[in-house]
Amino acid sequence: MKKTAQSILDVAGIKINGGKPYDIQVHDNGLYKRVLTQGSMGLGESYMDGSWDCDRLDEFFDKVLTTNLQDKVSSGKMILSLLKSKFFNLQNKDKSLEVGKKHYDVGNELYKKMLDKGMTYTCGYWKNVNNLDDSQEAKFELICKKIGLKKGMRVLDIGCGWGSFAKYAAEKYDANIIGITISKEQLVLGKKLCNGLPVKLRFQDYRDVEEKFDRIVSIGMFEHVGPKNHRCYMEKVSNCLKENGIFLLHTIGGNKSVQRVDPWINKYIFPNGVIPSVKQITTASEDLFVLEDWHNFGVDYDKTLMAWYRNFNKGWSFIKNNYDERFKRMWDYYLLMCVGSFRARKNQLWQIVFSKNGVPGGYVSVR
């Protein structure tokens, strides 16, 4: 099986026990059978178990994904995942709570060590900056300008995280923000961070919001909605947006329409998440909005994720008593696999601006 594995890796120029940073170092020969029979699940779990290592996982995944090696290894778990996504709504109100418990509630101290000072868990905007803190502020300023935010406007932030955008918009623009999240840990800390500001954070599903808003933003949450709910989501946004309102959708995007996420990511990182495609987004929003602007800066996620990876490893000694080594390897694997996917341009980062009825005189794009 080692020969079979090497023949597949040869396509990407990766060697088993080779000397390049992206070559894999195998510690357990059971790895080959595990990967060839279980696909991405076997690869990820065997890394967590210490069966193999790689000096530069980001470069390894860049090469794997650029050459589409993942398509050469399939497994029954992939097929089962696809069937489940077709026949069940994995993002209904009950199941949608799983990602909050599994990922976002994993510990605020971890995220404090990993993220920027404002606790922002989405892609930064690195156009004119060179550090993580500034990239996140630049991203928020970009969003505020894109939606034409003004003093006193009422804004809904769907998937508000720890309230980082809400805090920025309230402090810099004196806007009134309602933020909703399905993470209890995020809500507790977010309320503390936004204390004293015109910000209200709630534990609430987007399907239960009924008020009207001048502006709506959704920054890094749409990936959890799922194709079966895309139309419902867009209809809810439309119903909550005033007639002259603007909606900004900030989401990771994929190059093709899928119904499921990678099985390893689904099990260990983002349960029931699905990265949307251009087609899925435009189909879901058809006849509800005027699409005013579409901005792709997915290459900036490479820098953002690498900054998170460095911060996480720098801060590990302060939080390691709360986790085990297998968790550490899982988190490293998650961050660097995502780096590889953006570097290989398999994933994108889109900011899409919609208006309810078209901006009078035309929308002016902001970059």
Average pLDDT of the chain to the nearest whole number: 93
Q: Are residues 275 and 187 in the same domain?
A: yes
Residue 244 has pLDDT above 60, yes or no: yes
Query: Smallest Cα–Cα separation from 237: which of 288, 195, 278, 178?
Result: 288
Q: Are residues 128 and 47 in the same domain?
A: no
Q: Are residues 291 and 166 in the same domain?
A: yes
In a domain, 82, yes or no: no
Q: What is the mean pLDDT of residues 40-58?
A: 97
Q: Are residues 128 and 252 in the same domain?
A: yes
Kindly give, in sequence order, each residue whose CB lies less than 8 Å from that of residue 111, ignoring residues fewer than 6 positions away.
Answer: 119, 121, 162
CA gap 100, 311 in Å, rounded: 22
Residue 73 has pLDDT above 50, yes or no: yes
Instruction: List the catalytic residue out of 123, 160, 240, 338.
Output: 338
Range of the domain at 282: 91-355
pLDDT in tens, 18-28: 999 999 999 99
pLDDT in tens, 74-89: 544 444 444 444 544 5
- φ, ψ (nearest 5 deg) of residue 157: -110, 105
Q: Are residues 131 and 162 in the same domain?
A: yes
pLDDT in tens, 252-301: 999 999 988 889 999 999 888 999 999 999 999 999 999 999 999 999 99
Q: Are residues 157 and 251 in the same domain?
A: yes
Q: Are residues 95 and 232 in the same domain?
A: yes
Is 160 catalytic? The answer is: no
Last residue of a domain, one of 26, 47, 74: 74
Looking at residue 182, its pLDDT comes to: 92
Predicted structure pTM score: 0.92
Q: What is the mean pLDDT of residues 173-179?
A: 98
Q: Are residues 133 and 241 in the same domain?
A: yes
The residue type found at 285 is S
CA gap 273, 262 in Å, rounded: 9
Q: Are residues 49 and 147 in the same domain?
A: no
